[in-house]
Every structure is written in C-alpha cells, then in structure tokens.
Amino acid sequence: MQINPDSIMDSKGADQPSEINAEAVTHADKTTMSEQSSSLFRPPSGNLCLELAHNLGQKLRYVGYRSKLYQLRLNGAYPRQLLASPDDPAPGNATLGSAILGGDMLYGPERLELDGAPWSALWHKSPSFFNHAHSFVWLRHLAQVSDQEAARNAAEELTKSWLERHASWDEAVWAPALIGSRLNNWIIHAPLMLSSNDMVYRSAVLNSIARQARHLSRTLTDAPFGINRVRASAGLLLAGLLLPGRDPWQARAAKALDKALAETVNPDGGPISRNPAHAVKILRLLVLVRAAYIEAGDEMPNSLLFAIDRLAPFVRAMRHSGGALVQFNGTIGEGGFGTDAILAASQAEGRAIINAATTGFQRLKHGNTLIVMDTGCPPNGERSAASHAGTLAFEMSAGRERLFVNVGPAMPVGRFDELARLSRTTAAHTTLVMGDTNSSRMLPNGLLGKGVEKVTVRRRSEAGGSWMEASHDGYESRYGFTHKRRILIDSSGFMVDGSDKLEPTGKRQRGVPAVLRFHLHPNVDAQLAGNDKQVKLILASGTQWHFSADRPIKVEESLYMVQPDQPCSAQQLVIEFEDVPSNGAEISWKVEHV
C-alpha cells in the first residue's frame, strides 16, 4: 500500500525550537465519583546542569571500563547454578520463534540473517532492533514453538556466538538498562538456554550473568530515568535473588528499584512518560521480581506490592473493553503486550481508575460506551523523545469495537521515518488543530518544545450520566486562544454529546484556521447521511452510530497503525473553520447509537 501522509494531516507549520520554562505544579481534589473533580497539570521541569554533570562523569568512567584492569575486577566466584527461574507472564509469538529456527530474526520491518556473524550485522540495524536482539527478549518467542529441542539448540548457538563477541564491556551492548533486560530474559528463560549437556557452555553463561551483574551493580544510576532505570534495577535484583550468595546485589538493587519506581510511577499508577504501554511493561517486571522473591524465600518489600497495586488499575483504565490499549504517546493499541496475562499474574484486583489525576488521563464509561481522554501536559526535555502532541485527544469504543482512535506510532526507520514524525503531530489525533501547527512544538531533534504548559480539568458524575471538561493553553501564546473540550455520556451509553471551543485570551491573531479531526478505526465505515452535517458510522458488526455537528462535516482518508510497521487505510471526520473569529468559535457535535 502506498503511504500518503498528507491524507491524514497537513505537515505545514513546522514549529520552531523554543525553550520550556515551567514550574512543577500538580493539584487534584480527592473526590468520589458523584462529586465534581478538578485538576491542574503542568509539565515537570528538569535540571540541565545536573544532567550535563552526570553525562560528563559517565564519559570519564567509560575510559576506565575499557581497561584490562577493570575487566579483571569483574571476575569473581563462578556461580554453579540458578536457584530458580520465574515464569514469564507475557507470552511470546510462535511465528517469530519459528522464523528464528528458519534463520531469520524479525523485528517490525527489519530482518537479521542469523547465519554468519549476526551480532556484527546488528550495528547496521535500527537502535530498537539492536536493543531487541541484545536484550534476548526474543527467547520468549522461541519458548512458544512446538519443536523445543530445535528452540534450545537455536538459543544455545546464538548465546555462544554472543559470548564470543561480547563477553567484555561495551558501551552500547553493556548499557545498564540493556544488561538489566538481558539478565531478566536469561534468568526467566534459563530452562531454554541452560538445558545443554555442554558444561563449559553452561558455566560460561552463568559466569557471564555474574560478570554483567557486577558491572550493573556499579552503574545502576547511569541508566536513564524512567522505565530504563526500572529495567536495570529489576535485572540486578533477579540476579541477586536467584544466584547463590549475592546478598549485596540484592540489597543494592532493591533500594535502587524502590527509588526508580518512586521516580517513574506516579501516585495514580501511570508512568512519567505518559505512555500506557510502559505501565504494562513495568508491571510485568514487578510481577517477575515478586516471583523471584517467592522462589528465593525472601520477604519482599511492601513498596513492591504497593507499586503493583497502583499499576494494575491504571493499566485497566488504559484499555478498551475489547482489550486493546488506547493509543497515546507511542502506545500501539493492537496486540495488547500480553496485558491479559500480565494483569492475571499481578493478582491485583483494583478496578480501572477513572481519574488519573497525576499522569493526566480521564476515563468515562456508561453502558458499553467508553471514552479515554488525554488531559495531561507532554513531558519536557529528553523524556519527550517519544511523546505525542495530542493534548485533549480522546478514543471511544462501544463494547468490543472502537469508533474514534488516534493514528498511533510508526517505526522511525526506512520508509516509515517521515510517518513516525507525522504520527506524533496533533493532526494525527482525535482533537482540534489550530493554524496547521502542533499544540506542543515538535523540535528538529524530535523532542517536544514549548506549547501546552497548563491543562485544567473538571468532571462530574450524576444520575443522568457523566461529563468532563478540559482546556489547554498550547495555542495561547501563538494565536491568543485556549482550546476547551467538553464531553458528556448519558447513563445508557447510547449518546455522547461534545463540544470544542476556542476561547480568546489576550492578543489574538487574525486569519487563523482551525480543524477538528475525528480519526476512525479501520473497521468503521463513514457515510454522509442526508446532508453535510450528518454522518452514518457503520461498525464491522453491523452496529450503527449517527454523528452530527452544527457545521459541515467532511469524510476524508486517514491512516491507522496496526503495528508500527503496518499502516492501513482508514477514514476521518473533518470539521473546519477557515478563519476563527476574534471572539472565538465553538463546534458542537453528537454521537448517538442508532
């Protein structure tokens, strides 16, 4: 299929770089569902001087890591066995495992031939594929193939060749987060890797686990903040719990994991990245760590159990009724990351949170109708590298079928590189775009710059239904308007009433256009019904919904990312203002079950 990015968005208005200067302020009233709730969100601020000092110190340490003396310091007592191997709650893909048996490692649109010197060829692949291969996460795919003898042989051959090339420190391959992921996967898939009768090979694997863990114990703080620091800490903790006599690692890793979770997981259970998939991945790691504590017979910290109990309700909130995740900030909705199995393994019973006050998501549900809306500020600095400029975008589903979605992320490699940037723009989301620009500027280096710095939210549940109202200031400094969105679901779930308003504030520019977009799931067919202010939405099941607005509606082409390398055709509803009046503008719309 030929990709035409212009069919989903206008890439004009490439925003210019600008600096962020915002205080970290978060407020949320603690209320019940029947009460009114209001929140104010601002992006957290970073400390550039501390980051620069940390990076300089890291570079100096790298010089020492390359020395032969340091390699000798990584030696120690040879571990003879693992005490246990926890089960991975996230199942692999047997098709991808079979491809490995056939000589190919597949990752999105990329392919690595495993004959010859595969680890050398990885330097020519994308960073994502590089990390995928060196983390050994593909072991979960081999664990799913029916021919387990062939799977064990393939795992052994690939591990042997890795040990021959990467037994010593390497800046990229031995990065703390990558070591943490690799230790996790080697330990949980030890039955696949260590079933060989070759005692020399088995000893080499166990010794490599110990050497990598020794290095990781000294470099935990070099892992970037966020999910990568959780990965590094969890990997060392598994090694400390399941290798005999490694109590110092265990104590250091437990302390580091506790700190990483405090920095990474918000009080409402959402990740600081605001990527719902990260919450799923962190939850999986914590389930593994809890299992390792149980296997080792050690008492686990209460903070670990508390984090699991916070994460699970947030993950549930970020799912449609059919199991798909909402597509915000780099999350792909299809596939679900093994979420069902991970939630079941977590044993956390908390219901889906309706007001993720700190992370910035709101959830409304009545009957079979569900809406999740992004009501938070994008992260700033390095933490925004994968974030989307989709403030006030929402997704809507009816039962197991989705109606309104966001385009979703594309993989930033090859022919998808430009689409990866475009899919992060405001126009790729079900929200309003003003002046053909993003609500938060997208800088040339891929980070998000100035734009949305304040989001206000109000919500209320009543006998007749629930409503929420949110506004952001992303267009205030440029055009002199704030965007306010209001959505109401009636108690039956059969009617959704909404409005999008541009309210004037301060000095206003003239001649600024605005476009309101509603991206549809590929399984929804949109047909104009009678006049240009009404559209019939026909779902795959035959169920019909009626969309109407007080301004003309256009049905245009769009794209939907089934996977980051799999765009497919879809449709979008478009409502336009050629010139927003100086006193503001409002578009009222409604979706009703027929």
pLDDT (average), residues 65-79: 84
What are the extents of the domains in the chain?
A: 5-43+365-593, 75-271+275-358
C-alpha 331: how far from its chain's center?
4
Question: Of the candidates 395, 389, 368, which has an alpha carbon nearest to the alpha carbon of residue 495?
Answer: 368
Question: Of the candidates 10, 4, 113, which has an alpha carbon nearest to the alpha carbon of residue 427?
Answer: 10
Domains 5-43+365-593 and 75-271+275-358 share a fold: no
| 41 — pLDDT class (breaks 50, 70, 90) | low
Lowest mean pLDDT among 13-27, 382-396, 438-452, 474-488: 13-27
Q: What per-residue confidence (pLDDT) applies to 32? A: 33
Does the pLDDT value for residue 69 go beyond 70? yes
- Residue 64, sorted as left (phi over 0), alpha (psi -120 to 50) or beta, turns out to be alpha
Q: 5-43+365-593 sits in which CATH class?
A: mainly beta
Question: Whole-angstrom Cα distance, residue 13 to residue 441?
Answer: 10
Question: Whole-angstrom Cα distance, residue 359 to residue 258?
Answer: 19
Lowest mean pLDDT among 21-30, 469-478, 522-531: 21-30
Q: What per-residue confidence (pLDDT) applies to 38? A: 58
| 507 — pLDDT class (breaks 50, 70, 90) | confident
> Residue 581 in 3-state DSSP?
coil
| 506 — pLDDT class (breaks 50, 70, 90) | confident
* Mean predicted lDDT score pLDDT of the chain: 89
| 294 — pLDDT class (breaks 50, 70, 90) | very high
| 245 — pLDDT class (breaks 50, 70, 90) | confident
DSSP characters over 493-528: SSEEEEEEEEEE-SS--SS--EEEEEEBPTT-EEEE
Name every residue whose Cβ is closer than 8 Å to that of residue 138 and which is 6 or more positions away in sequence. Answer: 92, 96, 97, 100, 105, 132
Strands 361-366, 355-356: pairing kind: antiparallel
C-alpha 530: how far from its chain's center?
41
**Topology of domain 75-271+275-358, per CATH?**
Glycosyltransferase (1.50.10)
Does the pLDDT value for residue 44 go beyond 80? no
Supply the pTM of this predicted model.
0.89
pLDDT (average), residues 288-317: 96
Does the pLDDT value for residue 202 go beyond 90? yes
Question: Whole-angstrom Cα distance, residue 383 to residue 278?
Answer: 13
What share of the chain has pLDDT > 70, as a percent?
90
C-alpha 512: how far from its chain's center?
33
Q: What per-residue confidence (pLDDT) applies to 45? A: 55
**What are the φ/ψ torsions at residue 71 (nearest 5 degrees)?**
-60, -35
> Residue 477 in 3-state DSSP?
helix
pLDDT (average), residues 200-225: 93
Question: Whole-angstrom Cα distance, residue 339 to residue 329?
Answer: 18
User: What is the per-residue pLDDT across 523-547, written as a single tens digit (0 to 9) for each?
Assistant: 999 999 888 999 999 999 999 999 9
Question: Of the candidates 449, 570, 405, 557, which has an alpha carbon nearest to the alpha carbon of residue 9?
Answer: 557
Written as one letter, the residue type at 455 is V
**pLDDT winner (highest mean) among 32-46, 69-83, 217-231, 541-555:** 541-555
Lowest mean pLDDT among 6-20, 358-372, 383-397: 6-20
| 367 — pLDDT class (breaks 50, 70, 90) | very high
Helices (H) and strands (E) in the chain, counts: 17, 21
Which of the pair, 2 or 236, is modelled with greater confidence? 236
Question: Whole-angstrom Cα distance, residue 279 to residue 420?
Answer: 22
Q: What per-residue confidence (pLDDT) applies to 72? A: 84
Lowest mean pLDDT among 33-37, 88-92, 314-318, 587-591: 33-37
**What are the φ/ψ torsions at residue 393 (nearest 5 degrees)?**
-70, 155
Q: What per-residue confidence (pLDDT) applies to 15? A: 40
Q: What per-residue confidence (pLDDT) applies to 576? A: 95
Identify the H or E element spanning 39: strand 37-41
Q: What per-residue confidence (pLDDT) applies to 7? A: 39
Q: What angle do CA 360, 361, 364 make, to 5 degrees?
A: 150
pLDDT (average), residues 407-415: 86
Q: Enter the tokens of residue 36.
A: 């009114």
